[in-house]
Structure 1
Amino acid sequence: MITVQVSYRVVPGYAEQNQRNIAAFLADFAQLDAAAFRYSVYTKDDGVTFVHLSMYRDEATQQQVLAVPSFRQFQQERDASGLDNTHTVEILRYVGSSAPVL
């Protein structure tokens, strides 16, 4: 299993558009094999810091999900919006869960 946490902060005027773009790619993700991955997005209390948590069964699944056109469009628009060097990508190592995971 591959687990990745991505966090970043957008400029305040872009937060609503970012949420719309996230909703678009999540709708497309819902058409994929839900048993192969989980993808969740959160905002922090400031409303402009976003945290994406994704889990993939394997690398092939990860590549399939990340290649969805609406996701790639989201990334391009987010990056062009003026991120303020807060973008981080962390690979997490699975320890355990109270419910079954991939």
Structure 2
Amino acid sequence: MIIVKVTYTVKPEFVQKNQENINLFMADFKKLNTNDFQYVSYLGGDGKTFVHLSHYKNEEIQKHLLQIPSFLSFQKHRDESGLEGAPQIEVMQLVAASQDLFKH
């Protein structure tokens, strides 16, 4: 299992557009209709910091998702928007979960 947490802060005027771009790639992710990954995006209390938490069953599904055109477009627009600092990328390890993350 691969778990990645990405945290970044956008300028206030880009928050709405970033949310729209996230919704676009999430719609494409949902169309895959697979249990091989979980991807969640959050907006922090400051109203401009986003946290993306992704759980991938394996490297194959991770590579596939990261190449989906709407996801690549989201990243491009996010990075070109003038972030308040570089995105923080953290690879994490699962300790415990209240349910199975990947149903067989």
Give TM-score scaled by structure 2 length: 0.95
1:43-75 C-alpha deviation (Å, 9 max, x unpaired) = 101110000000001001000011100000000
Matched positions, count: 102
Deviation at residue 84 of structure 1 after TM alignment: 1.6
Letter in 1 for 2:30: A
- Where do 4+ consecutive residues of structure 1 move more than 6 Å? none
Name the residue aligned to 1:48. Answer: 48
| Distance across 2 between alignment mates of 1:86 and 1:45 | 19
RMSD value over aligned CA atoms? 0.8
Name the residue aligned to 1:70. Answer: 70
Task: Identify which range, 84-93 or 7-16, moves more after superposition.
Answer: 84-93
Letter in 2 for 1:79: D
Give TM-score scaled by structure 1 length: 0.97
Deviation at residue 86 of structure 1 after TM alignment: 4.3
| Distance across 2 between alignment mates of 1:85 and 1:59 | 28
Name the residue aligned to 1:87. Answer: 87
| Distance across 2 between alignment mates of 1:87 and 1:70 | 19
Deviation at residue 87 of structure 1 after TM alignment: 1.2
Name the residue aligned to 2:58. Answer: 58
SS at match of 2:31: coil
1:11-51 C-alpha deviation (Å, 9 max, x unpaired) = 00000000000000000000114310000000101110000
Deviation at residue 101 of structure 1 after TM alignment: 1.0
Flag structure 1 segments of 5+ consecutive residues without an equivalent. Answer: none
Letter in 2 for 1:71: F
SS at match of 2:63: helix
| Distance across 2 between alignment mates of 1:3 and 1:33 | 19
Task: Identify which range, 81-90 or 56-65, moves more after superposition.
Answer: 81-90
